[in-house]
A and B are shown apart, each in its own frame.
Chain A
């Protein structure tokens, strides 16, 4: 059973709102940097960045972060991990880094991402932006910016697709 949760318009509205919230909370983009988590967060980070640049009429650095080496499930996953690129375009020391991911679930990926990020420098603070927060946290982690909160059962799956990756924008809930 799968069900559409957000369509293209919903997604764009959510991104626009998050962009405003990020700007507002950080009082501009002067000390800001976005880092998308491989691989679901990368496209989202780019889109969020374009939106922020449009609103602020300025430039914001966007990086990508691969968290494979920081995961805690190397022995339990059935698929072997495939390593993606990490590119942090600027020195993140004393910056405000907004981690961007598509779905926030148990919080373990974000834990790994924070560990990974800290190995690249010492940000002033780390914030978290996600398109979907589906609950079921296993760690004390929360999103600073969430596109939409969607209650799910634990074994359901959320599929986020963005048009930059091939097909049209959509968020689908597949029940487990």
Chain B
């Protein structure tokens, strides 16, 4: 039973709610496999995306999810809207509500913006990524993908590799995996390790080979290339040598380990092409599953009594 009208983060969900979303997504995955990939439950509803950061993948995925549910999808284009004229976030959000939207998808570089909108608005707010806080639908689609291969979460060893400190994807996945009782290992340089992150019940490794030993799932993260100039790492070349996923480093994981990446990838920085395109990679399935999971989220939130 989803309790909130909003999806702000995995932090706020119970394990039961996560499983409900995954089960519902399975139904939508079936729909996506049909010739007619559309169902009617959100007929007459309007989904508005409010993205303050560029994103093609998440936005397209949500747009398709909305359309497959028969909802109208409108993009509130930030660069061409009055936001650039200095309109406050609050006014923009209230405008979207007044336009008659039922859902607002928000992505913002500042953590907590979905929470702010949630307090201001009566309509459903879905966090499509806020700062270094959370990206809940990415974690849900990752859980869906893991479940389809590994069937269970309890006791599963999952390694998240890369720039954990700046990654909302990592954060949401840490919450999801720990709530579902998987063992989580973070593999990252000390400069990209969030403060006191071990208190979240995860192991922190600075050595890739040791961290990957016997894992069932490897999640790579995108490295923002500007980290180099801020002194987090000396060079991308050195980063790839220490933390890049290669045939050699992945060999420390279990033979049937799957390799995931939220995209877009920097080939040759966090992941070698041979791994990204290799037979352990499930990266493109993640993309497909993303639509089903986002359909499930929209559908379940539509059913929450406001």
Direct contact of A and B (CB under 8 A): yes
By a CB distance below 8 angstroms, the chain A residues around B1 are: 79-80
Question: Is B36 at the interface (CB under 8 A from chain A)?
Answer: yes
> What per-residue 1/0 map shows which CB atoms of B19-30 lie under 8 Å from chain A?
010011011101
Partner of A120 from B20, B34, B305 at Cβ < 8 Å? B34
CB–CB B303/A74 < 8 A = yes
Smallest beta-carbon distance A95→chain B, Å = 16
Q: Is the interface of A mostly helix, strand, loop or mixed?
A: loop
CB–CB B36/A119 < 8 A = yes
Closest A residue, CB atoms, query B24: A83
Question: Is A165 at the interface (CB under 8 A from chain B)?
Answer: no
A74→B69 CA distance, assembly (Å): 13
Question: Is B89 at the interface (CB under 8 A from chain A)?
Answer: no
Question: Is B31 at the interface (CB under 8 A from chain A)?
Answer: yes
By a CB distance below 8 angstroms, the chain A residues around B30 are: 85-86
CB–CB B41/A74 < 8 A = yes
| Given A66-B27, A80-B2, A85-B30, residue A71 in contact with residue B41 (CB < 8 A) | yes
Smallest beta-carbon distance A101→chain B, Å = 19
CB–CB A82/B23 < 8 A = yes
Smallest beta-carbon distance B297→chain A, Å = 13
Question: Is B144 at the interface (CB under 8 A from chain A)?
Answer: no
Smallest beta-carbon distance B88→chain A, Å = 31
Within 8 A of A (CB), among B121-135: none
| Given A74-B302, A75-B302, residue A83 in contact with residue B41 (CB < 8 A) | no
CB–CB A80/B300 < 8 A = yes
CB–CB A69/B36 < 8 A = no
Number of interface residues of B (CB under 8 A): 22
Partner of A77 from B28, B34, B303 at Cβ < 8 Å? B303
A64→B39 CA distance, assembly (Å): 17
Within 8 A of A (CB), among B1-23: 1-2, 20, 23
A119→B70 CA distance, assembly (Å): 13
Question: Is A20 at the interface (CB under 8 A from chain B)?
Answer: no
Partner of A83 from B23, B36, B302, B304 at Cβ < 8 Å? B23
Question: Is B299 at the interface (CB under 8 A from chain A)?
Answer: yes
Question: Is B40 at the interface (CB under 8 A from chain A)?
Answer: yes
A84→B26 CA distance, assembly (Å): 9
CB–CB B23/A69 < 8 A = no
> What per-residue 1/0 map shows which CB atoms of A75-106 lie under 8 Å from chain B?
10111111111100000000000000000000
By a CB distance below 8 angstroms, the chain A residues around B303 are: 74-75, 77, 80-81
CB–CB B20/A82 < 8 A = yes
CB–CB B41/A70 < 8 A = yes
Partner of A69 from B2, B20, B299 at Cβ < 8 Å? B299
By a CB distance below 8 angstroms, the chain B residues around A116 are: 39
Within 8 A of A (CB), among B214-243: none
A-B contact pairs, 20 of them (CB 8 A): A68-B27, A68-B41, A69-B31, A69-B39, A69-B40, A69-B41, A69-B299, A70-B39, A70-B41, A74-B299, A74-B302, A75-B302, A77-B303, A80-B1, A80-B303, A80-B304, A116-B39, A119-B38, A119-B39, A120-B36
| Interface positions of A (Cβ within 8 A of B) | 66, 68-71, 74-75, 77-86, 115-116, 119-120
Closest 10 CB pairs of A and B: A83-B27, A69-B39, A119-B36, A83-B24, A74-B303, A69-B41, A80-B1, A80-B303, A74-B41, A74-B302
Known: A81-B24, A83-B23, A119-B39. 10 other contacts (CB 8 A): A68-B27, A68-B41, A74-B299, A74-B303, A78-B305, A80-B1, A82-B20, A83-B24, A119-B34, A120-B34
